[in-house]
């Protein structure tokens, strides 16, 4: 016979002889956390300029970078401070995208 013992947010199932199934609980909890991580998706880039640029990762200063697909120049982008305005201005002057 088994009984459930509640301890705050922790619910442990205990057998009559005192053996607990805490390992099963921890495994189930880690599986739930893993499933929640899969549900998160990255935001889709909606600006037209992303057709001409590729994300180049994060620079040494911690700010995201984008590389022009035509001339391979890198520009800061991402976040509220560095948006896509600099990428759009580059497209107006880039000779290789015309």
Number of domain units in the chain: 2
Task: Say whether both 35 and 6 belong to one domain.
Answer: yes
Residue 70 scores a pLDDT above 60: yes
Task: Say whether both 35 and 68 belong to one domain.
Answer: no
Task: Say whether both 58 and 32 belong to one domain.
Answer: no
Task: Say whether both 61 and 92 belong to one domain.
Answer: yes
Task: Say whether both 53 and 91 belong to one domain.
Answer: yes
Find the domain containing 8 and state its range.
Answer: 2-39
pLDDT score of 32: 61
**Looking at residues 20-32, what average pLDDT do you find?**
62
SS3 labels along the chain:
CEEEEEECCEEEEEECCCCECHHHHHHHHHHHHHHHHHHCCCCCCCCHHHHCEEEEEECCCCCEEEEECCCCCEEECECCCECCHHHHHHHHHCHHHC
pLDDT score of 18: 46
């Amino acid at each position: 016979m088994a009984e459930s013992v509640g301890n705050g947010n922790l619910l442990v199932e205990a057998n009559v002889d005192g053996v607990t199934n805490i390992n099963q609980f921890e495994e189930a909890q880690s599986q739930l956390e893993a499933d929640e991580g899969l549900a998160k998706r990255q935001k889709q880039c909606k600006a037209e300029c992303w057709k001409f640029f590729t994300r180049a990762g994060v620079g040494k200063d911690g700010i995201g970078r984008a590389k022009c697909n035509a001339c391979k120049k890198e520009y800061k982008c991402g976040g509220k401070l560095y948006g896509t305005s600099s990428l759009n201005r580059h497209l107006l002057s880039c000779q290789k995208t015309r």
